[in-house]
Amino acid sequence: MAGKTLYDKLWDAHLVKERDDGSALIYIDRHIIHEVTTPQAFEGLRLAGRKPWRVDSILATPDHNVPTTAVERASGVQGIEDPVSRIQVQTLDDNCDEFGIVEFKINDNRQGIVHVIGPESGACLPGMTIVCGDSHTATNGALGALAHGIGTSEVEHVMATQCLVAKKMKNLLIKVDGELAPGVTPKDVVLAIIANIGTAGGTGYAMEFGGQVFRDMSMEGRMTVCNMAIEAGARAGMVAVDDTTIDYVKGRTYAPNEEQWDAAVANWKELVSDVDAEFDKVVEIDGASIKPQVSWGTSPEMVLPVDARVPDPAQEADPVKKTGIERALQYMGLTAGQNITDIAVDRVFIGSCTNSRIEDIRAAAAVAKGRQVASSVIQAMVVPGSGQVKAQAEAEGLDKILVAAGFEWREPGCSMCLAMNADKLGNGEHCASTSNRNFEGRQGYGGRTHLVSPAMAAAAAVAGHFIDVRDLTSQA
């Protein structure tokens, strides 16, 4: 019999019951919630007279709607200017108070983006099943956990039953071996993967990231990669547990206590795919060949190395793809064959659950140090992923470097990743963004998003257009 994949192991360990029709009940260990996808779920519970099954398995924080300027944040929920956003954040507070759920509220120094605070607080651990009403929950898979996004009906279902009705997915291994070139980051790796397999390439699969590149990668880098599994169509992305994982978890607030630690570690060390495990599909990519990436279109698969040219629809044979390229070029205001490095940027956004952790801020600050944001750039902002990240960055003096270079230093939240608060692009503006989605209108009505790494975003801010960050470094 073939061995098990990491996903097989996580699935088996959480199987409560298999039903005759092939669906299964899966036990959920951790449930993270935010203000946008929960009000209707709480309402459902109330209407049915139900209570959460295990209230202490839930952790809440507001992130999508919170303002990120210090001024607007000063007076907490009441200070949120947009009344509709304020009601949503207030509703989360009220629901958590009513049901007795722990919430890192708006001005708690532990508040932040759901997918940042989960691992950071130790609420999310290796070997867990983790859900959240948000598709980027896969971020937590970096811990060697089975983590995925769910809809609001499922949020209600998990609260009421601690289980999810699920069907086992297929196994996909993305293997990236070799060594990354200097200046190439985890974000570039995941963008290159999506360019390779497409936005539907992982549909129906649980995606494991394996190979030398991920073994060498930091935990935060692995989170960046797993975060974007959904952009490749996979609900869950994951990386096997190793010493990097265990070192990361140690000492976090909700990590196992001393009594349980050794047993937990012994258990976690099993969380790897067996050498003889069989995957339904394997994709191999040469890590050494990956260059810094920039997305040019309106889907995360429309991405190219920074030294490439924008594609020409005339050279695409498939009619659906061809119109897709034409439509994207039109929306993005680009010309076929144009150099990516000739695209000027109007705004720069460094943040989001993909790239708002301390290593990301360090990478941006390293590029910004001693340089200035180009005068043609209207705004360049850095939005830390959580209060903890913000405090750490300030302790290292990174905020000062960034501000001196002309960046704005903000309060934690989702911010311009999806522009539900006041941070957004103007119609037709190009943005170098470290977020995960370049869909039409995502960062503001008519806005044009280019997905890049934090170092590449900072380099674009300084140059006023896209540039290979490595050229900038060699010029300095």
Partner 1 sequence: MKSFTQVTGIAAPMDRANVDTDMIIPKNFLKSIKRTGFGKNLFDELRYLDEGLPDQDCTGRPLNKDFPLNFPRYEGAKVLLARENFGCGSSREHAPWALDDYGFRAIIAPSFADIFFNNSFKNGLLPIILSAEIVDQLFQEMYANEGYELSIDLAEQVVTTPSGETFSFEIDEFRKHCLLNGLDDIGLTLREADAIRAYEEKRQQQAPWLFGAIQPGA
Tokens of 332: 């993005």
440 binds partner 1 (CB under 8 A): yes
Picking from 466, 424, 464, the residue whose alpha carbon sits closest to that of residue 446 is: 424
From the list partner 1, ligand SF4, none, pick the one residue 113 interacts with, judged by a Cβ distance below 5 to 8 Å according to partner type: ligand SF4
165 binds partner 1 (CB under 8 A): yes
Contact 180, 287 (CB under 8 A): yes
Look at phi and psi of residue 406 and say left if phi exceeds 0, alpha if psi is from -120 to 50, else beta: left
267 binds partner 1 (CB under 8 A): yes
Angle (deg, nearest 10), helices 186-197 and 219-227: 30
81 binds partner 1 (CB under 8 A): no
323 binds partner 1 (CB under 8 A): yes
Query: Which of 222, 347, 390, 437 touches partner 1 by CB under 8 A?
Result: 437
Contact 130, 137 (CB under 8 A): yes
Tokens of 345: 């940027």
From the list ligand SF4, partner 1, none, pick the one residue 449 interacts with, judged by a Cβ distance below 5 to 8 Å according to partner type: none
CA distances from 327 to 68, 313, 319 (A): 33, 10, 12
Q: Least separation, in Å, of the C-beta of 76 and partner 1?
A: 17
Query: Which of 8, 63, 120, 154 touches partner 1 by CB under 8 A?
Result: 154
Burial class (CB in 10 A: 0-12, 13-18, 19+), 12: exposed
Note the helical H segments in 15-174: 39-48, 70-73, 83-99, 114-121, 152-161
Note the helical H segments in 314-396: 319-332, 358-368, 387-395
Q: Which stretch binds partner 1 (CB under 8 A): 48-56, 270-278, 332-340, 405-413?
A: 48-56
Cα–Cα distance for residue pair 323/255, rounded to 1 Å: 50
19 binds partner 1 (CB under 8 A): yes
| Amino acid present at 128 | M
Angle (deg, nearest 10), helices 219-227 and 114-121: 150
Tokens of 295: 């997305």
Look at phi and psi of residue 173 and say left if phi exceeds 0, alpha if psi is from -120 to 50, else beta: beta
From the list ligand SF4, partner 1, none, pick the one residue 353 interacts with, judged by a Cβ distance below 5 to 8 Å according to partner type: ligand SF4
State which residue, 128 or 180, has the beta carbon closest to partner 1.
128
Cα–Cα distance for residue pair 284/427, rounded to 1 Å: 39
Q: Least separation, in Å, of the C-beta of 146 and ligand SF4?
A: 19
Q: Give all strands (DSSP E) within 167-250, no chain letters.
A: 170-177, 205-210, 236-238
Cα–Cα distance for residue pair 296/447, rounded to 1 Å: 13
Query: Which of 210, 324, 351, 387 touches partner 1 by CB under 8 A?
Result: 324
State which residue, 394 or 440, has the beta carbon closest to partner 1.
440
CB atoms within 10 A of CB 183: 20
From the list ligand SF4, partner 1, none, pick the one residue 352 interacts with, judged by a Cβ distance below 5 to 8 Å according to partner type: ligand SF4
Q: Least separation, in Å, of the C-beta of 439 and ligand SF4?
A: 11
From the list partner 1, ligand SF4, none, pick the one residue 96 interacts with, judged by a Cβ distance below 5 to 8 Å according to partner type: none
Cα–Cα distance for residue pair 153/162, rounded to 1 Å: 13
Residue 431 annotated in ligand binding: no
State which residue, 136 or 470, has the beta carbon closest to ligand SF4.
136
State which residue, 113 or 173, has the beta carbon closest to ligand SF4.
113
109 binds partner 1 (CB under 8 A): no
From the list ligand SF4, partner 1, none, pick the one residue 289 interacts with, judged by a Cβ distance below 5 to 8 Å according to partner type: none
Tokens of 216: 């060498």
Q: Least separation, in Å, of the C-beta of 464 and partner 1?
A: 27
39 binds partner 1 (CB under 8 A): yes
Query: Which of 5, 68, 162, 433 touches partner 1 by CB under 8 A?
Result: 162
> For binding to ligand SF4 (CB under 6 A), which residues are involved?
63-64, 113-115, 134, 136, 352-353, 414, 417-418, 435-436
Q: Least separation, in Å, of the C-beta of 225 and ligand SF4?
A: 14
85 binds partner 1 (CB under 8 A): yes
Q: Least separation, in Å, of the C-beta of 139 and ligand SF4?
A: 8
From the list partner 1, ligand SF4, none, pick the one residue 355 interacts with, judged by a Cβ distance below 5 to 8 Å according to partner type: none
Q: What share of the chain is helix, strand, coil (3-state, %, to 5)?
A: 40, 20, 40
Residue 353 annotated in ligand binding: yes
Please state the residue numbers annotated as binding site: 353, 414, 417
Please state the residue numbers annotated as binding site for [4Fe-4S] cluster: 353, 414, 417
